[in-house]
Structure 1
Amino acid sequence: MRTITRTYDLFQLAELSAVARETAYGEWLHTFEYGWNSENRNTLDAFESVFNIKVNDWSYDTCRYSYHFTSHYSGEEEQLNGIRHLKYIVNNYWHILFKPKTYYLKGDYKKRRKSRVFTDNCCVLTGYCADEDILKPIYDFLKAPDTRTTLYDLMDKCLDSFFKSCRDDMVYQCSEESFEESCAANDYEFLENGKMYN
């Protein structure tokens, strides 16, 4: 019986040559899986359950995004604009778009109270940051309503904002900068040629 011992020189990402870094990045991209699909889907489902629409066919990747949606609002509701549109949103969706602000007692985070005056609109659908992206056009409309934007247009703007942010996040997650952050956070080590050491 023979025993063979191998020794390896291990490198951090910053210590690799430019060619080895490219190899490491390429291998990482090859095994990359976008980790926020289910959270994004939860936000979309929550949006569909609040507003009277259904997104039928959608996709996004690092290059493009597409979606089609069906509105279940009446024709009159879809064409609401101006102050009537603003009042429709306030009367029907204010309690979902704005939650009472929560205050915690100093030093005791188990005791809290909800304000009866102040509201908060941070991640109100699911608690995930994509809520901000999908609702941003509505909050912008509430701040400055215009007479040209109908309810149907506003739903389209919300979905466009959401899928654009999903695409942009996926682009960032696949970027070299994200790869470097992942290597630093996980203390990845590499062989001299850029192959990841297991």
Structure 2
Amino acid sequence: MRTETRKYEVYKVDELSDKAKENAYWKWLKGFEYDASDNRATLKAFEEIFKVKVSRWNYDACTYNFQFISNYSGEEEELCGVRLLKFIVNNYWHNLFKPKTYWHKKDFHKQRRSRISVTNDCVLTGYCADMDILKPIYDFLKVPDKHTNLYDLMNDCIDSFFRFCRDDVEYASNEEAFERDCEANEYEFLSNGEFFK
């Protein structure tokens, strides 16, 4: 029987050369998986509230595309301006705005909900994508555009959502995200950028 001892020079990500860091990044990227469960939950909540169904969609760090079906009547789809504003307020106000919650200063277990003040912070699922999918509606409620109809507004909402998803994938898979992941998980590398196990 023979025993061998090998010595390795091990580096942290910020100690690697540019070429080795690039090699390590591409290896990390091959195993990268984006968790889209929160995005799906937001899209599902939007579809349950509004009469639309998004089908045949995909996105990555560079592009996105989607198709959707509106289940509104032709008359509802053509609503625009103040009539559309009133339609949204009458049918969706309680889905778009929630009562503000106030917490007791000394005892954080005590809370009360306002009967007057409302908030629109992440009202669908509590995830930040809620703000992006609903942003066109909130913008329309502030300034009702007489040329935007309900169908266009739903298209703008879904487009805004998938733009967020694309940007989020790009943010989660760029080189800075790789470096943050390496530091958080204390990954170590060989001089050529191979992961040291």
Q: Do these two structures clear the TM 0.5 threshold for a shared fold by scoring above it?
A: yes
Structure 1 position 169 matched with structure 2 position 178: no
SS in structure 2 opposite 1:140? Answer: helix
Q: Which residue of 1 aligns with 2:184?
A: 185
Say whether residues 1:22 and 2:16 are aligned partners: no
Q: Shift in Å at residue 107 of structure 1?
A: 3.4
Q: Quick check: 1:151 aligned with 2:150?
A: yes
For residues 72-94 of structure 1, give each alpha carbon's deviation from its aligned partner in whole angstroms, at most 9, with x where no partner exists.
Answer: 11111100001010000011111
Amino acid aligned to 2:26:
G
Aligned position for 1:61: 60
Deviations 1:127-176 (A, max 9, x none): 11110110000000011111000000000000000001101111111211
1:188 partner amino acid = Y
CA distance in 1, matches of 2:47, 2:107: 37
Note the C-alpha offset of 1:178: 1.1
1:109: how far off?
2.0
Q: Report the Cα distance in structure 1 between the residues aligned to 2:108 and 2:5, rounded to whole angstroms.
A: 54
Shift in Å at residue 188 of structure 1? Answer: 1.3
Aligned-residue offset at 1:193: 1.1
Is 1:125 equivalent to 2:124 in the alignment?
yes
Identity of aligned residues (%): 60
2: CA distance, partners of 1:70 / 1:43: 17
1:37-116 equivalence runs, <5 A: 37-116=36-115
The unaligned stretches of length 5 or more in structure 2 are none
d(CA) in 2 for partners of 1:86, 1:155:
13
User: For residue 159 of structure 2, what is the amino acid of its counterpart?
Assistant: D
**C-alpha separation between the residues in 1 aligned to 2:119 and 2:195?**
45
Pairwise CA distance, 1:3: 2.5
Aligned to 1:9: 9
Q: Give RMSD over aligned pairs.
A: 1.0
Structure 2: how far apart are the matches of 1:67 and 1:139? 22
CA positional deviation for 1:6: 2.2
* Runs of 4+ off more than 3 Å: none
